[in-house]
Structure formats: C-alpha cells, structure tokens
Amino acid sequence: MIIETIFSTLDEAGSPNFAPMGVAWGGDYLTVRPYRSTHTCRNLLSNGYGVVNLSDDVLAYVRCGLYHEVLPHFPAKSIPGVVFQETCSWREIEVISRSGSDERAELRCRVLHAGRQKDFLGFCRSGSAVIEAAILATRLDRRDLRTTAEKLDHYGEIVEKTGDEPEKQAFRLIRDYVRKKGER
C-alpha cells in the first residue's frame, strides 16, 4: 500500500527539502521510489537519511510540492534531518539498500525512530481531491493539457462542494500553478 507523505531530507549543506512522496508502507521498513532528478533522491543517495511525515495538512503538500517551500520544522531525534512541525506522526529512516531504474531509484529504508503529535484521521473528500490534483500538477510534463484540465475541473467540483477554506486555498494554488505552467 502506498501512503502519501511529506518527505523531508537534508542536502549536503544541511538545508532542508520537503516534498510529497508516496511511500510503500511497512512496519519497520519502508520503500520509496523517488525520481532520480529530484532533490529528495539526491539527498537520500548522498546522506542516506530522511523523515517520512504523515500529515493531514493539504496546504503543506501543495506548498512544498509545487512551490518548493521549506515548511516549519524541528530537528529529528535520531538522524540528521528535520520533522515537519505540523505533522501528525513521523518516521525517521535510514536507507539500507538501493536499486531501481534510470528514471527512478528504489530505496529500502529501515525505521530508526517513530514520533507522534496527534492522530491522523485521514482526508475528507476535498482533501483527497486536493492531494490527487497536486500529484497531477507535479506531472504536467507527462500529460496532455486537455486531460489535465478535465481532471482538475472534476477535482475542483469536489473541493467546492465539500471543502473548507484550507482545501479551497490549496486548490486555488494548484490552479494558479497549472495556469502559469500552461502559459510557458
């Protein structure tokens, strides 16, 4: 099962990077498959550590995934890394094996520490629609614009019907991002 998370890593200078990342979930071991061209992949391959943040904050997914914002954070407990301040719970991980393809790495990781701040209740319908729309927006270069626009319209209807202000704000940011990318 793939769980959508906010993944944090440190670069060689110690600066944090946050990115949405699907993680193959397991008890003491997790598998991540980042694209090799990403900061997340480069950081994991260079230092071998990361933090998997389980968050219900859809705006944070959009801000770090599309706008590359450094989210508020605090130091990890057992590894060189940072934890997203508003996370529900997190796993501090160490890469133990590497494989994959030219396009994507496949990194098997051992959980070294687990922390918790609050229960993760899941996403409401609009939250799930925002997450799917954000994933779609990160892959614009692999999709045709017409299909993307149709899917965004569908997700937008869900957000308008069922969302609160954070979901609506996150969706507006996604629309702005897609519109700006389409103008290029």
Q: Tell me how far apart the alpha carbons of residues 175 and 153 are, in angstroms, rounded to a whole number.
A: 10
- Predicted confidence at residue 183, as pLDDT, reads 64
Q: Tell me how far apart the alpha carbons of residues 180 and 70 are, in angstroms, rounded to a whole number.
A: 21
The SS3 assignment for 84 reads strand
Pick from 22, 6, 29, 166: nearest CA to 88: 6
Side chain identity at 48, as an amino acid letter?
A: G
Give me the domains of the chain, ranges plus CATH numbers: 2-116 (2.30.110.10), 125-183 (1.20.58.290)
Q: Is the pTM of this model over 0.85?
A: yes
Per-residue pLDDT tens digits of the chain, which is 184 residues long: 899 999 999 999 999 999 999 999 988 999 999 999 999 999 999 999 999 999 999 999 999 999 999 999 999 999 999 999 999 999 999 999 999 999 999 999 999 999 999 999 889 999 999 999 999 998 887 777 778 888 999 999 999 999 999 999 999 999 999 988 876 5
- Predicted confidence at residue 184, as pLDDT, reads 59
Pick from 116, 117, 113: nearest CA to 49: 113
Structure tokens at 138: 């990160």
Q: Tell me how far apart the alpha carbons of residues 184 and 176 are, in angstroms, rounded to a whole number.
A: 13
Give pLDDT tens digits for 88-105.
999 999 999 999 999 999
Q: Within 13-144, where are the H helices?
A: 39-47, 58-67, 125-138
